[in-house]
Structure 1
Amino acid sequence: MGYQTNKHVGLAEEIFREHHRRLESASIALTRNAPVLGQLQRNVHAIVADVAEQFDLPVSNADPPADIDEVVNHTLLPTEIGVDRALRNIHPIESLRAAALLFEVALPIILRRYVITDPARVAAVSLALHDAISRRVSLSSLAYVNYLIEKLQASRREERRRIARDLHDRLGHSIGLALQNLDLSRHYGTQDRLRSDAKVGAAMHEMREALQTVQELTAELRRSFGADGIEPALRGYLASSVPATIRTGLTVTGDVKVMPREVGEELYLILREAARNAVRHGEATELRITIVASEDAINAEVIDDGRGFDLIDAQTAGFGLRSMAERADLLNGRFTITSAPGSGTVVAVEVPLYGPEG
C-alpha cells in the first residue's frame, strides 16, 4: 500500500485513547514503553485509514483539519513493529492480545461515529476491520520470527567460525610443527641420532596435541543444552575440557529447568565460551560458574582468578567477546565483563524469562 494520508485523525485518536486505556486495564505489557506506544498509535491510524478508504467514509467534523493529517507507511510499519518487539523481547502473544482488544474497541466507535446500523454493512465493516488488524499482526509476527531466525543463524555462523579458527590455529599449528620435526629428523638421519630421535619425540608430542584438539572439538560438537538441561551440560564440559590443575565449581540455585530450550542453549554457549577463555587465555587456577534462577530471570556468572586482561585490547584479541555479547543480545539479556590485568575476570549474564524489558 505504501504511504497513505489518514484523513480520519480524530477517529483514530479516539480509538487509540480507548485502546490504550483498555490495554492498561488488562495489564498488557505494550503500555510500558513510550516507543512501543508510539508504534501502537501509528498502527491504529493505519488501520483506520484502511477501513475508511475501503468504505469511503466521510470526514467527520470531529476530525482535525487536513493540515495536521499524518502520513503512514503501511508497508514498513508492521516490519518495524515486529523487529522492535523482538529486540524488546515482547512475545507475539502480547500483540495478539492487543489486536483482539483493538477490534473490540474500534468496531463500536466506528459504527457509532458513522451511524452504521444496516446488518449487512455492519458485517462488512467488521470484516474489513478484522482483516486490517489481522494482516498487520501477521506481518509483524513474520518480521519478529524472521529477525530471531537471522540472529540465531548469525550466532551459529559465529560458532562455526570459532571451530574453524580452532581447527586452523590449534590443529593446523600442531600438525605443522609435527611435520617440521619429522622433516628435521629425516635430515639428521643416522648422522646425529640423538637429535633425530629428539625431533621424532617432538613430532609425537605435537600429534598428541592435535589428537587432543580433535577430541575436545568433537566433544563440544556432541554436547549441547540437551534434554536434561544446562546444569548437566556445564558439568560435563568442566569435567572433560578443563585441566585437572584448575579447581572448578558449579553452583545452581533455583529451578533452571524453567528455561526454554532455545534460551538454555544460547546461555550454555555463552558460559562455555567464558570458561574456555579462562582456561586458554586466563592462566586461571580456579574457575567457578554460578547460576541463579528466579521466576522472571536467569542470572549467571563465570569467575576466574586468572591474569585478567584489558577490555579494550581484548575486543580484537579473538576472545569471542562479541559473540558472547551478541548471544546475550539475542536473548534480550544484559552481558557484562569485569576484568583488569592481574585481577581475574567476571563474566555476568542476566536473561529475562518472560515479558518485555522494563
Structure 2
Amino acid sequence: MTRLALQVAAESESPAEAFTLVATGMEESLSLRIREASESYHGFLLNQVHEAQEDERRRIARELHDRIGHGISVAHQQLALAEVYRVTNAARASTKMGVAQQAIQETMENLRQMTSELHPQVPLKSLEKALLGFLEAVEDDTVSVGLHVNGDEGWADARVLDEAFLVVREAARNAFNHAAPTMILMRVDIAPHELVATVQDNGRGFDPAVVRRKGGVGLSSMRERTELLGGRVTISSAPGSGCLVEVFIPLKKRHDDHDPG
C-alpha cells in the first residue's frame, strides 16, 4: 500500500488528489476483503446448518424405527397370533390380544414423547427387565432364546442403558424377523469401564457388505446409536452361517464413585 501511495502521489497534480485516490483504493480493497470474508463465513454457516439438519433427520429416523416401528411390529405380530389361536386356544388368543394392546399403548406414549418437549423420554430403569419384556412380547415357540445379563447396571448411566437396550433389541428383532433361527443367545456384560453385548443366532445368515450397500435403517441405527456413545458395533455373518452382533460401549466413571482411600 505504501508503494501504491507513492506512485499515486507522483502521478497526481496535488496532495489532496493523491490522498483521495489512496483513500478510495483502500476503501475498495477493504470492502472486497470484507465481502469475501462474509461470503466465506456465510457458506460455513450454511454448511453447519445443513449438517445439523442431517443429524436431526438421522435422529428422527432412528427414533421412529426403533421406538415407533418396533411397537407397531409387535402389535401386528401378536394380533396375527391371536387370530391363529382364536379357535384352538381361546385363553392364549386373549393373552396375545393383551400384549398387542399393551404394545399399542406404549407406541402411543412413545409418539407423544417424541412430539412434545414436555414429555421427555423416560430413562430405562433396568436393562435386564426391559430385554425380558421384549422377549415376552415376541414369544415364539419355534425359537429357543437365552438371555444373560452380568455385572452392575449402576456402572452405566441411564442413557447408556437405554441406547444399549435399543441396539440389542434391534439385533435380536432382526434375528427373529429375518434369520429363521431355532436359537438366539443374548448376553450383556457390564464392567466399570465397558458394556459389552452380544446377540448370536443360528439362522440363515447374510452377507454384511450387501446389507450395508442397501442401507437398511435398522443396522444404520445400531451403529449410529453406539458411535454416539463412543462405542462400536461389529457384525459377523455369512449365508448359511448364522450371525453374531457384538456391541462395545465405553463407560465413563460415575461422579459418585470414589477411589479407596
TM range, normalised to the smaller chain?
A: 0.5 to 0.7
- In the alignment, which residue of structure 2 is the partner of 1:157? 61
Query: Which ranges of structure 2 fall in alignment gaps of 5 or more residues?
Result: 1-40, 42-51, 81-86, 88-95, 111-120, 254-261
Q: Provide the rounded CA distance (Å) in 2 between the counterparts of 1:220 and 1:287.
A: 25
- In the alignment, which residue of structure 1 is the partner of 2:16? none
Query: Which ranges of structure 1 fall in alignment gaps of 5 or more residues?
Result: 1-75, 77-146, 176-200, 202-208
Distance 1:306 1:215, change over 3 A: farther
Distance 1:311 1:352, change over 3 A: same
- Displacement of 1:212 in angstroms is 7.8
- Whichever residue aligns with residue 352 of structure 1, its letter is P
Q: How does 1:46-195 map to 2 (within 5 A)?
A: 154-161=58-65, 163=68
Q: Provide the rounded CA distance (Å) in 1 between the counterparts of 2:193 and 2:108.
A: 30
Distance 1:154 1:327, change over 3 A: same
Q: In structure 2, which of residues 172, 183, 191 is the aligned counterpart of residue 294 of structure 1?
A: 191
The alignment status of 1:331 with 2:235, answered yes or no, reads no
The alignment status of 1:263 with 2:170, answered yes or no, reads no
The alignment status of 1:283 with 2:187, answered yes or no, reads no
- Whichever residue aligns with residue 334 of structure 1, its letter is R
List per-residue Cα deviations over 1:101-124 (Å, max 9, x = no partner). xxxxxxxxxxxxxxxxxxxxxxxx
The alignment status of 1:353 with 2:257, answered yes or no, reads no
Does the 8 Å CA contact 2:203/2:241 hold for their aligned counterparts? yes
- Displacement of 1:246 in angstroms is 1.0
- Displacement of 1:244 in angstroms is 2.5
- Whichever residue aligns with residue 137 of structure 2, its letter is S
**What RMSD in Å do the two structures reach over aligned CA positions?**
4.5
The alignment status of 1:272 with 2:176, answered yes or no, reads no
TM-score, normalising length: structure 1: 0.42
The alignment status of 1:312 with 2:209, answered yes or no, reads yes
Q: Provide the rounded CA distance (Å) in 1 between the counterparts of 2:60 and 2:239.
A: 31
Does the 8 Å CA contact 1:334/1:350 hold for their aligned counterparts? yes
Q: Provide the rounded CA distance (Å) in 2 between the counterparts of 1:312 and 1:261.
A: 33
- Whichever residue aligns with residue 252 of structure 1, its letter is V
- In the alignment, which residue of structure 2 is the partner of 1:49? none
Distance 1:211 1:248, change over 3 A: same
Distance 1:152 1:319, change over 3 A: closer
- Whichever residue aligns with residue 350 of structure 1, its letter is F
Does the 8 Å CA contact 1:229/1:257 hold for their aligned counterparts? no
Q: Provide the rounded CA distance (Å) in 1 between the counterparts of 2:133 and 2:216.
A: 25
- Displacement of 1:313 in angstroms is 1.9
Q: How does 1:197-212 map to 2 (within 5 A)?
A: none
Q: Provide the rounded CA distance (Å) in 2 between the counterparts of 1:220 and 1:308.
A: 30
Does the 8 Å CA contact 2:72/2:107 hold for their aligned counterparts? no
- Displacement of 1:248 in angstroms is 0.9
List per-residue Cα deviations over 1:285-339 (Å, max 9, x = no partner). 1111111111110111011111111112222273611110001101100110000
TM-score, normalising length: structure 2: 0.56
Q: In structure 2, which of residues 102, 115, 125 is the aligned counterpart of residue 228 of structure 1?
A: 125
List per-residue Cα deviations over 1:132-164 (Å, max 9, x = no partner). xxxxxxxxxxxxxxx8xx968843432214645
Q: Provide the rounded CA distance (Å) in 2 between the counterparts of 1:158 and 1:298.
A: 21
Q: Provide the rounded CA distance (Å) in 2 between the counterparts of 1:273 and 1:156.
A: 16
- In the alignment, which residue of structure 2 is the partner of 1:245? 142
- In the alignment, which residue of structure 2 is the partner of 1:99? none
SS where residue 320 of structure 1 aligns?
helix
- Whichever residue aligns with residue 190 of structure 2, its letter is A
Q: Provide the rounded CA distance (Å) in 1 between the counterparts of 2:205 and 2:246.
A: 15
Distance 1:225 1:165, change over 3 A: closer
Q: Provide the rounded CA distance (Å) in 1 between the counterparts of 2:56 and 2:189.
A: 24
